[in-house]
């Protein structure tokens, strides 16, 4: 809350101050303090947002009112009080004109009002305001504690905080989805859309936040819940700023929300452990136990997907939201390979949404019955080994042929080692062999394609056979050579 303004001093009948000049905006500017001096240039000793009181002694031949006022305005003084009846019977006309020209509020302090009375009145107003804010904070803390004890405590806490701050307050889950708000629709749709993206970005990066952002003209304070490596959500407050008391209240709400979410997380951890055990049963191609425990499973045929880079909590919350929106049912479980997702074949497009939303890799199987669950799990892992971003489907990976499956890091290292003698002896030999095999190991067409004599080609093939210790006259050796060439990192 800002400090009391000059207007509040002017309204005090005991001071009998009179505004000589000054706009409403200038008079409503908060005052940090009130000080008095007759120095010709007091600015080195003054602070911003201060009301200065003077009797005008500096104008007795030392400096002009215009010069004096210019210095005060440049220093950021919020108002000038002139004491009449001491040196001057009334406020000097030149001083009135100088203050009006720079927009500095000027008020008269009558002879009967001591300067110390003005300073004391402002100090008392500051103290009263501080006491009122502390009382507000204490009362608000009590109300929030009572709200926490109600059923659906988080809902009550967010609503109570919104009422006490007289601001829109919202809570987002770990997936960046809005879960609670008070009052509903408290900010514009454009600001909401921008805030959704901002919150999602902060949570996805795992960045703790306690910052202010401006979204479509709305100033929003954003606070994250949890630690950077385990953010559980965020609280947004549509307010231009929060004083120390309001921040203390918000801090307590963050602590309460964090505790509530931690308790929820403990329940979620227990559920995840249960799902992990049920996954073991499904990988044995037996869905009976899972059906007895869960009551139901996604309808067959199902796709099995593995997401090695996914954060289980965020992915589960996102999927739960999709279930509520679309009625899509899925089974999720953590495993050493990553989060395993089992979902109906008809909902496969949700995997693309999840990969894009979280920036993760997902390998998926073909549609199967639960009796082939382990086979589908193996297909998903095989698709993942392609190492491509986003969703890699086993059907697409297998369509490229068996040799494409050899393009792994391990196979590349083996190929590089086996082909090393060939490359060391003659860098052109590898290309020669590739063209030879592409022409079905026939000398004449291969030699023609290489632009060399068929006897030269025969000699090179014989040289490669010795270097590789392979009988390239036999099909198995030629097949092995072709596989090496396909798996080679330089192929």
What is the pLDDT, as a whole number, of residue 450? 83
Q: Please report, rounded to a whole number, the percentage of residues in the chain having pLDDT higher than 90.
A: 32
Query: Does the structure show a pLDDT above 50 at 491?
Result: no
- Report pLDDT digits (tens) over 41-79: 999 998 888 999 999 988 877 789 999 999 999 999 999
Of residues 206 and 252, more confidence is placed in: 252
Scored b (16 or more CB within 10 A) or e, 23-45 reads: eeebbebebbbbbbebbeebeee
- Mean pLDDT over residues 324-343, rounded? 86
Q: How confident is the model at residue 264 (pLDDT cuts 50, 70, 90)?
A: low
- Mean pLDDT over residues 94-100, rounded? 94
Query: Does the structure show a pLDDT above 60 at 117?
Result: yes
User: Phi and psi dihedrals of 65, rounded to 5?
Assistant: -55, -40
Instruction: Answer yes or no: same fold for 150-259 and 284-400.
Output: no
- How far is the C-alpha of 486 from the C-alpha of 412, rounded, in Å? 9
Please answer whether residues 357 and 385 qualify as being in contact, where contact means their C-beta atoms are separated by less than 8 angstroms: no
Residue 107 three-state SS: strand
Q: Which CATH architecture has domain 284-400?
A: 2-Layer Sandwich (3.30)
Where helices occur in 11-79 by DSSP H, the ranges are 24-27, 65-75
Pull the structure tokens for residue 26: 């200038």
**Quick one: how far is CA 263 from the chain centroid?**
23
User: Phi and psi dihedrals of 88, rounded to 5?
Assistant: -130, 135
- How far is the C-alpha of 50 from the C-alpha of 73, rounded, in Å? 11
Q: Please report, rounded to a whole number, the percentage of residues in the chain having pLDDT higher than 70.
A: 92
Query: Does the structure show a pLDDT above 70 at 410?
Result: no
Please tell me the least confidently modeled range out of 137-151, 186-200, 226-240.
Answer: 226-240
What is the pLDDT, as a whole number, of residue 65? 93
Instruction: List, in sequence order, every residue forming a beta bridge with 182; answer none if it has no partner.
Output: 169
Domain regions of the chain by residue span: 6-124, 150-259, 284-400, 409-487
Of residues 435 and 323, more confidence is placed in: 435
Single pTM value for the model = 0.48
- Report pLDDT digits (tens) over 200-219: 888 877 666 667 788 877 78
What is the pLDDT, as a whole number, of residue 228? 55
DSSP letter (8 states) at residue 216: T
Q: How confident is the model at residue 263 (pLDDT cuts 50, 70, 90)?
A: low
- Report pLDDT digits (tens) over 363-405: 999 999 999 999 999 989 888 887 678 898 887 765 554 555 5
What is the pLDDT, as a whole number, of residue 180? 86
Mean pLDDT computed over every residue of the chain: 85
φ/ψ region of 16 (left if φ > 0, alpha if ψ in -120 to 50, else beta) reads left
- Which class is domain 150-259? alpha beta
Please tell me the least confidently modeled range out of 45-49, 117-121, 191-195, 214-218.
Answer: 214-218
CATH code assigned to 6-124: 3.40.1390.20
């Amino acid at each position: 809350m800002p400090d009391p303004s000059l207007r509040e001093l002017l309204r005090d009948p005991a001071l009998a101050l009179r505004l000589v000049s000054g706009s409403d905006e200038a008079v409503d500017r908060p005052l940090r303090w009130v000080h008095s001096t007759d120095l010709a240039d007091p600015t080195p000793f003054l602070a911003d947002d201060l009301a200065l009181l003077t009797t005008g002694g500096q104008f007795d031949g030392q400096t002009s009112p215009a010069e004096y006022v210019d210095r005060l305005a440049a220093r950021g003084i919020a108002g000038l009080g002139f004491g009449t009846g001491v040196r001057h019977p009334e406020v000097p006309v030149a001083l009135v004109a100088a203050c009006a020209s720079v927009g500095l509020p000027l008020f008269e302090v009558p002879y009967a009002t001591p300067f110390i009375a003005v300073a004391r009145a402002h100090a008392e107003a500051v103290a009263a305001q501080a006491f009122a804010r502390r009382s507000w904070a204490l009362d608000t803390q009590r109300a929030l504690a009572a709200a926490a004890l109600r059923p659906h405590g988080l809902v009550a806490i967010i609503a109570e905080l919104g009422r006490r701050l007289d601001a829109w307050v919202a809570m987002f889950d770990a997936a960046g989805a809005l879960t609670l708000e008070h009052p509903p629709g408290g900010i514009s749709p454009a600001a909401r859309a921008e805030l959704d993206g901002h919150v999602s970005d902060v949570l996805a990066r795992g960045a703790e936040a306690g910052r202010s952002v401006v979204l479509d003209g709305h100033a929003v304070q954003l606070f994250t819940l949890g630690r950077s490596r385990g953010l559980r959500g965020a609280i947004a407050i549509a307010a231009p700023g929060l004083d120390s008391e309001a921040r203390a209240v918000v801090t307590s709400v963050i602590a309460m929300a964090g505790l509530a979410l931690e308790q929820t997380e403990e329940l979620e951890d227990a559920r995840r452990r249960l799902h992990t055990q049920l996954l073991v049963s499904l990988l044995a191609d037996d869905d009976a136990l899972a059906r007895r425990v869960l009551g139901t499973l996604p309808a067959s045929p199902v796709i099995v997907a593995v997401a090695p880079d996914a954060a289980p909590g965020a992915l589960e919350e996102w999927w739960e939201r999709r279930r509520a929106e679309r009625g899509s049912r899925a089974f999720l479980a953590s495993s050493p390979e990553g989060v395993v997702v089992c979902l109906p074949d008809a909902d496969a497009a949700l995997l693309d949404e999840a990969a894009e939303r979280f920036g993760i890799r997902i390998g998926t199987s073909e549609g199967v019955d639960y009796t082939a669950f382990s086979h589908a799990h193996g297909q998903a892992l095989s698709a993942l080994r392609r190492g491509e971003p986003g969703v890699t489907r086993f059907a697409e990976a297998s369509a490229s042929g068996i040799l494409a499956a050899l393009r792994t890091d391990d196979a590349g290292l083996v190929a590089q080692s086996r082909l090393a003698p060939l490359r060391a002896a003659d860098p052109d030999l590898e290309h020669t062999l590739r063209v030879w095999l592409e022409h079905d190991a026939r000398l004449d067409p291969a030699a023609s394609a290489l632009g060399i004599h068929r006897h030269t080609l025969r000699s090179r093939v014989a040289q490669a056979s010795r270097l590789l210790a392979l009988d390239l006259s036999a099909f198995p050796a030629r097949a092995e050579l072709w596989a090496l060439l396909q798996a080679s990192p330089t192929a």
